[in-house]
Amino acid sequence: MVTDVQTVPRASHAQRPKSLRRWGPPALRGWTTGDAIFRKACAAIGASIVGLLGLLIYELVRGSRESLEKFGFRFMVDRVWDPVVERFGASTFVYGTVVTSIIALLLAVPLGIGIAIFLVEIAPRKLGAPIGFLVELLAAIPSIVYGLWGLFVLAPIVRDDVAPVLHKTLGFLPFFRGESHGVGMLTAGMILAIMILPFIAAVSRDVLAAVPTTQREASLALGATKWETIRNVVLPYGRAGIAGAVVLALGRALGETMAVTMVIGNNPQIAASLFEPGYTMSSVIANEYAEASGTVYLAALTEIGLLLFVVTFAVNGFARVLIWRMARERRA
């Protein structure tokens, strides 16, 4: 998109003599003073993002220096988090963050895309608008409300209804062993799924709505059914956009703090069963930062922040590479 806009003035640039382009009066360069100011301002705003990111990383590294020096790589693999003896390891928190985000995506992606397909392709226009509005409204609910709702409403449902059924039917898998106390990684993933649903649904809806009608008509004209049209024409056309929506949602799931803290059980452990309590990186920062005493303790919490940054970066990068490959395969 960005390149498309820029090619227009650049093409007219090239037609002028080089010296004029560079040194001539603004009007001859094809730029008015206003344009020049606007261009510089935009460049500065663009650069500020990079600068902000740089500062953020610098501050995080500086704040976690003591922990980086003391624990080194062990910080990444150690499962013990003991503020009393100042021994800190982050692997349990990384595990919790990744697992809950995966559960959330597994639940929310099919649901979100389904909602989008319904709103764009199936629902009558009169119904589509209010339902779309309701889905977007989900995004406006504060996360603490989700958290308390999760604790008081969802957790008992998971304990009494969801977990026993999963245990009975899928109990041979290591993910559904043991007994659920209500709060745990599964419940946290479910809450996250509800929270990221509006992102996936709303963005996918806009992506699907942007698929040209001619594409659909062409498919239908070839004798394809509605389902075949959606599956073979509409969804592939919007694939990159939908993947973008998923990446956006994933970012939100990785960083969500308050709602997860209320329902995950906050017990740093690596357990295969999703009924077991876990702990996420953002939760431990939110839980312990205010009362943390001692410089190593604070540094360890800051390093968790740095690690969360790295994990988010890596997961996002991975998702982007995946999308890029998918798009390339389509073209080939």
Partner 1 sequence: MSLVRFAVVVAGAALLAVSCKSSSSAAGGGGGNVSINGAGSTFIYPVMSKWSSEYQKVSPTTQINYQSIGSGGGIRQLIAHTVQFGATDGPMTDEQLKEAKGPVFHVPLVMGAVVPTYNLPSLAHAIKFTPDALAGIYLGTIKTWNDPKLTADNADLNLPATPIVVVHRSDGSGTTYVWTDYLSKVSPEWKSKVGNATSVNWPTGLGGRGNEGVSGTVRQTPGAIGYVELTYAMQNKMPAGEVKNRAGSFVTPTIDAVTSAAAGAIATLPDDLRYSITDSPGDKAWPISGTTWAVVYKDMPAGPERTAVVSFLRWALHDGQKFCAALDYAQLPPELVAKAEAKLDQVEPPKK
271 interacts with partner 1 by CB under 8 A: no
Helices 239-255 and 185-209: crossing angle in degrees, nearest 10, is: 150
* Residue 273 within binding range of partner 1, rule CB under 8 A: no
303/188 Cα distance (integer angstroms): 23
- Pick one of 5, 50, 223, 291: the residue that binds partner 1 (CB under 8 A): 291
Pick the closer one to partner 1 by CB: 75 or 81.
81
x/- site string to partner 1, residues 23 to 62, per CB under 8 A? ----------------------------------------
Say how far apart CA 163 and CA 145 lie, in whole Å: 23
Bridging pattern class, strands 87-88 and 81-82: antiparallel
Site string for partner 1, 237-266 (x = CB under 8 A): ---------------------x--xx--xx
CB of residue 137 to partner 1, shortest distance in Å:
19
Span of 19-27, 149-157, 197-205, 222-230 interacting with partner 1 by CB under 8 A: 149-157
User: Which one of residues 29, 159, 205, 252 is an interface residue with partner 1 (CB under 8 A)?
Assistant: 159
Using CB under 8 A, pick the residue from 151, 235, 250, 315 that binds partner 1: 151
Least distance (Å) between residue 133 CB and partner 1: 24
Question: Rounded CA gap, 97 and 254, in Å?
Answer: 6
The amino acid that residue 142 corresponds to is P
Binding span for partner 1 by CB under 8 A among 20-28, 68-76, 177-185, 318-326? 177-185
Considering only residues 116, 155, 235, 323, which one is a binding residue for partner 1 as defined by CB under 8 A?
Answer: 155
Nearest CB to partner 1, comparing residues 81 and 237 = 81
Residues in region 102-121 near partner 1 by CB under 8 A: none
Residue 237 Cα distances to 94, 114, 203, 327, angstroms = 35, 16, 14, 10
**Three-class SS string for 221-255?**
HCCCCHHHHHHHHHHHHCHHHHHHHHHHHHHHHHH
Q: Which stretch binds partner 1 (CB under 8 A): 63-71, 124-132, 201-209, 285-293?
A: 285-293
Choice from 290, 328, 329, 332 touching partner 1 (CB under 8 A): 290
Binding footprint of partner 1, residue count (CB under 8 A): 35
Of residues 308, 222, 17, 249, the one with CA closest to residue 112: 249
Contact positions with partner 1 (CB under 8 A) in 196-235: none
Task: State which residue, 121 or 276, has the beta carbon closest to partner 1.
Answer: 276
Pick from 45, 172, 293, 331: which binds partner 1 (CB under 8 A)? 293
CB contact burial 1-23 (16+ within 10 A = b; e otherwise): eeeeeeeeeeeeeeeeeeeeeee
**Shortest distance, CB of residue 189 to partner 1, whole angstroms?**
16
Question: CA geometry: angle at 308 spanning 306 and 312, to 5°?
Answer: 120
Count of positions (residues) in the chain: 332
Q: Helix (H, G, I), strand (E, B), or coil: what is residue 87?
A: strand
Asked if 90 and 82 count as a contact pair (C-beta separation under 8 A), the reply is no
Q: For residues 250 and 319, is the Cβ–Cβ distance under 8 A?
A: yes
**What are 51's two structure tokens?**
């600068």
152 binds partner 1 (CB under 8 A): yes
Q: What residues make contact with partner 1 under the rule CB under 8 A?
A: 80-85, 142, 144, 148, 151-152, 155-156, 159, 181-183, 258, 261-262, 265-267, 277, 279, 283, 286-294
